[in-house]
A and B are shown apart, each in its own frame.
Chain A
Amino acid sequence: MTDMATKEAKVPDKDSLFTGTYNFGTVTSKINDIVTGPTGKGWVVGFAVSFLILQVLLMAVTWLLYEGIGTWGVNVPVGWGFDIINFVWWIGIGHAGTLISAILLLFHQQWRTSINRFAEAMTLFAVACAGLYPLAHMGRPWFFYWLMPYPSTMQLWPQFRSPLIWDVFAVSTYLTVSLLFWYTGLVPDFASLRDRAKNIWARRAYGILSLGWRGAARHWHRYETSYLLLAGLSTPLVLSVHTIVSFDFAVGNVPGWHATIFPPYFVAGAVFAGFAMVVNLAIPARAAYGLKDYITDKHLDNMAKVMLASGWIVFFGYGVEAFMAYYSGSPEERDLFMKNRAFGPYGLWYWMLILCNGIIPQLFWWEYFRRSMFWLWMISFVINIGMWLERFVILMSLQRIPWQSSAWGQYSPTFWDLSTYFGTFGLFFTLFFLFLRLVPMISAFEMKHMLPESHTHAPGSGGHH
């Protein structure tokens, strides 16, 4: 028998990444039984509510397709409203998943192991929600393939000098690579689901999904090499995606957008909001499924620290924006900042975002707030609101005052803007609940690798086995 099974329960250490006593078999059953076991009542209720909210999205999109973009509040001069705000917000949230799974893997951060699957799924669903907005904003989404470079009969090609086309390449690559990364990580776990499934249909379904994985040493070696390189590829990818999203703004010659601080500040903002969302999802999920031995307080503590650090980069970005408005010497930049951002019609929202993103997260300097589940969840929620307000202020404050004052206008979202935004939560949570039920939410094979008895020494060099 393995040593671990007979070992006495350790005194829980508050910095431990894996508590409780487990062996290879119990790790597998603990994680897989969530998928193969009976459906919980809480899951049914959660899924039903999410599915209901998804119908709001379907209704809003149907009306949009029937009636046209006029159902939204966008018009001259504000052409980018809720659709772009929510696109940037959702895609930013997605970035934390890639950061956890790829960058932390490259840095050999072991605390990624129990949260990576979960965070990668969040990435996929957030990108799916984000992708809906530009598609819907096209007005005629059934012509979406016009964005792709393909030899059409009219010999028309995309305009490759435009950041909007870069966005198409960036977001579609991001979705594809995130999906591949997630699926590759799942293959060995699908194999153990296949081998433990009692129901013939479950065995067949997971058998197909596992592709017939056998866990041969040769296969593992190629698998690990490819997975590591995929992490190495995903890391610059995730940085490039939000950089390109920021180019949508920064490349344009618009005061307040035309700034070199945009790419790093957008990427940091994405990490900031994304970690907040991971915490918002992880705290209820680990409580509901009894996974506190796997997702420990130490994981959440580390995530709070990442939020604190990335929050400061974002806060620094706000400072640079204010400083550059003054230092540019351009009256437009100064006017815009003073009369349309910090003060003026959007002043309230601006100071609220400073409060949400700059001031409140400073509570994470105290361990009490990083370890208290209530406060950690609340502060993360506030950060998500703050990051939404940031995009709102960035988009709104500038578009309403184009160069010609005769064209100045206002924007306010309509019922359909709001219902589309509300509805994407339905899509996100419907997908998330399906994920929790159908796919192991923690990487079981990587958790087994965390057990002390998984470590080997060179043959013949002696050991306790």
Chain B
Amino acid sequence: MGAAPAKMASFGLLAEFDNPQALVDAADRARREGFVKMEGYSPFPVEGLREALGQKRTLMPVAIFFGGITGTITGFMLQTLTSGGLPAEWDAWIPFNQWFSYRLNIAGRPFFSWQAFVPPMFELTILFAAFTAVFGMLAINGYPRLNHPLFEVPEFGRASVDRFFLCIESEDKLYDNEKTREFLKNLKPLTISEVPA
């Protein structure tokens, strides 16, 4: 390992506040100052914090929509193919058709009874969309991740209880251990801690 750049010795500086408004105001000041690589931490979602930090809207709804569509198509294909929904004459051309199809004649009803396929298609739409919503959200957020530099700071234990934190990360171009600490001091936080890398 080569010597890491001096400024990478820490993850960043963490300022602690006791109410959400102070955090929003601090984040807003930091953004105006030009900081980009920063993050706010709170025990519950704080309105306006994302805008104050200059973060973009999430594309989760688009992902969830496509997850749902995938479910619909899966449900349709699953039932159509296995019920012998494709004509038997196609078997020569589409080999998988005969591998899957299970042509049951139920009171002379058509093999391709799409109306009866709607309920499972609907359920699979919901199921796939829900999987995307939960597992997609966790994956994009980088969870599960049980270790994190922030957990080394004792004060951060209250981030899930009643304290609000602003962390300016050392990866930020404007980051300078001394100057950034001075800047954070002006925001009048309760504490400022250096987060070890």
Rounded to whole angstroms, the CA-CA distance of A217 and B27 in the bound complex is 11
Q: Give the residues in chain A near B44, CB-CB below 8 Å.
A: 188, 215, 220, 445-446, 448-449, 454
Is B146 an interface position by the 8 A CB rule?
yes
Is B40 an interface position by the 8 A CB rule?
yes
Is A211 an interface position by the 8 A CB rule?
yes
**Quick check: A220 and B45 within 8 Å, CB to CB?**
yes
Instruction: For the complex, count residues of A whose C-beta is within 8 A of B.
Output: 75
Q: Give the residues in chain A near B52, CB-CB below 8 Å.
A: 459
A230: contacting residue among B19, B134, B161, CB under 8 A: B134
**Quick check: A177 and B46 within 8 Å, CB to CB?**
no
Is B53 an interface position by the 8 A CB rule?
yes
Q: Give the residues in chain A near B61, CB-CB below 8 Å.
A: 225, 229
Is B119 an interface position by the 8 A CB rule?
yes
Given contacts A157-B83, A222-B60, A458-B48, 14 further A-B contacts (CB under 8 A): A2-B19, A149-B82, A170-B123, A173-B127, A208-B144, A211-B138, A217-B41, A226-B134, A233-B133, A234-B130, A448-B44, A453-B20, A457-B48, A460-B25
**Quick check: B126 and A233 within 8 Å, CB to CB?**
yes
Q: Give the residues in chain B near A212, CB-CB below 8 Å.
A: 143-148
**Quick check: B99 and A217 within 8 Å, CB to CB?**
no
Q: Give the residues in chain A near B141, CB-CB below 8 Å.
A: 216, 218-219, 222-223
B138, closest chain A residue (CB): A211
B-side interface size class? 35 or more
Q: Give the residues in chain B near A158, CB-CB below 8 Å.
A: 82
B117: contacting residue among A160, A207, A218, A230, CB under 8 A: A160
**Quick check: A217 and B50 within 8 Å, CB to CB?**
yes
Rounded to whole angstroms, the CA-CA distance of A170 and B121 in the bound complex is 10
Binary contact track B23-53/A, C-beta < 8 Å → 1, others 0: 0110111000000000111111111111011
Interface positions of A from 141 to 175, Cβ below 8 Å from B: 149, 151, 155-161, 163, 165-166, 169-170, 173
Given A23-B162, A229-B60, residue A463 in contact with residue B21 (CB < 8 A): yes
Is A422 an interface position by the 8 A CB rule?
no
**Quick check: A160 and B82 within 8 Å, CB to CB?**
yes
Q: Give the residues in chain A near B102, CB-CB below 8 Å.
A: 155-157
Provide 27 A-B residue pairs closer than 8 Å at the C-beta atoms, listed in order of the A residue: A24-B162, A151-B100, A155-B100, A166-B120, A176-B127, A188-B160, A195-B158, A195-B161, A211-B145, A213-B143, A213-B160, A218-B55, A220-B44, A220-B49, A221-B55, A221-B58, A224-B45, A225-B61, A226-B64, A226-B134, A229-B129, A236-B126, A240-B119, A240-B123, A449-B45, A457-B21, A459-B48
Rounded to whole angstroms, the CA-CA distance of A257 and B129 in the bound complex is 33
B129, closest chain A residue (CB): A233
B141, closest chain A residue (CB): A219
Is A437 an interface position by the 8 A CB rule?
no
Binary contact track B46-78/A, C-beta < 8 Å → 1, others 0: 111110110101101100100010000000001
Interface positions of B from 125 to 154, Cβ below 8 Å from A: 126-127, 129-131, 133-134, 136-138, 140-141, 143-148, 150
By secondary structure, the B interface counts as helix
**Quick check: B39 and A217 within 8 Å, CB to CB?**
yes
**Quick check: A215 and B55 within 8 Å, CB to CB?**
no
B127: contacting residue among A23, A177, A191, CB under 8 A: A177
Binary contact track B82-120/A, C-beta < 8 Å → 1, others 0: 110000000000000001101010100100010011011
B60, closest chain A residue (CB): A225
Q: Give the residues in chain A near B143, CB-CB below 8 Å.
A: 211-213
Residues of A whose CB lies within 8 Å of any CB of B are 1-2, 23-25, 28, 149, 151, 155-161, 163, 165-166, 169-170, 173, 176-177, 180-181, 183-184, 188, 191-192, 194-196, 207-208, 211-227, 229-230, 233-234, 236-237, 240, 244, 247, 445-446, 448-449, 453-460, 463, 465
**Quick check: B126 and A192 within 8 Å, CB to CB?**
no
**Quick check: B119 and A170 within 8 Å, CB to CB?**
yes
Q: Give the residues in chain B near A1, CB-CB below 8 Å.
A: 18
Q: Which of B68, B99, B138: most chain A Cβ within 10 A?
A: B138
Q: List 3 A-B pairs, minimum CB-CB distance, nearest first.
A: A24-B162, A459-B28, A192-B160
Rounded to whole angstroms, the CA-CA distance of A184 and B58 in the bound complex is 18
Is B184 an interface position by the 8 A CB rule?
no
Q: Give the residues in chain B near A221, CB-CB below 8 Å.
A: 45, 50, 55, 57-58
| A237 CB → nearest B CB, Å | 5
Rounded to whole angstroms, the CA-CA distance of A156 and B100 in the bound complex is 9
Q: Give the residues in chain B near A234, CB-CB below 8 Å.
A: 126, 130
**Quick check: B43 and A215 within 8 Å, CB to CB?**
yes
Is B22 an interface position by the 8 A CB rule?
yes
**Quick check: B55 and A217 within 8 Å, CB to CB?**
yes
Q: Give the residues in chain B near A445, CB-CB below 8 Å.
A: 43-44
Q: Which of A156, A234, A456: most chain B Cβ within 10 A?
A: A456
A32, closest chain B residue (CB): B161
A194, closest chain B residue (CB): B160
A458, closest chain B residue (CB): B48
Is B122 an interface position by the 8 A CB rule?
yes
